[in-house]
Amino acid sequence: AYDNLESFEPNYGIDLTQCKISDLGDLPVYEDVSYVLSEVEDVTRIIFNDRKIPVMIGGEHSITVGALRNLKDVSMVIIDAHSDFRDSYFDNKYNHACVTRRALEILGPNKIISVGTRSTSLEEITSPDYKNVRFITANEVRESGISNVISEIKNSISDSVYFSIDMDGIDPAYAPGVGTPEPYGLSSVDVRSILTSISDKIIGFDINEMTPLYDNGNTSMLAAKLIQDFIASREKAILNKNIK
């Protein structure tokens, strides 16, 4: 998908070929999720310690947990159709349906905002800890408007944010190539607006749950474009700070 995108981002006046970007390649794929998470933890620790920003692209949303293990005193913003708040799913505490629950255990209460929620189980929503995460539903976004949602996010987060996008948070009309699509989702423009409005605070970023076999190319292209928007908007924000 990236081959079809121009490197120059006119919205920010940034040419990505001039940005300091390094592709570290792919991590090996294993069926043992615990082993994969330990691999992600080790690699992202090196990146964080070098004061660089990891940008991960994945199928499974579970990889987010590996990166979070290196962090403390940070906020987290998630784009996701599902609350992902099960304690275990198919006897696996690191299933993608448990990501927000594991993130809460790592970061603590009132540190996580999940936007786009429109699917949750009775088990999840009745959990006593459910209230320790701010779930902003897709309906709330439509009713209150994206500017109000962004204001709430900005007023709630710290100066360091980990940002995770599950592509099913976006409506299937924009992102059909996902494993668990849910109707009535967020627009691609709304997700971009949230991401770019706080990009200067983001210290880690991932995009997950793309399923190319189910895709017509739109989902992969959108994911690639969101990565470009993140990098370019962050570069622009840092440039503006340095000028001031």
Q: Is 80 annotated as a binding residue?
A: yes
Phi, psi values for residue 22, rounded to 5°: -130, 130
Q: Is 23 annotated as a binding residue?
A: no
Q: Is 168 annotated as a binding residue?
A: yes
Q: Is 84 annotated as a binding residue?
A: yes
Q: Is 166 annotated as a binding residue?
A: yes
Angle made by CA atoms 80, 82, 87, in degrees to the nearest 5: 120
Q: Is 96 annotated as a binding residue?
A: no
**Residue stretches of the annotated binding site:** 61, 80, 82, 84, 166, 168
**Residue stretches of the annotated binding site for Mn(2+):** 61, 80, 82, 84, 166, 168
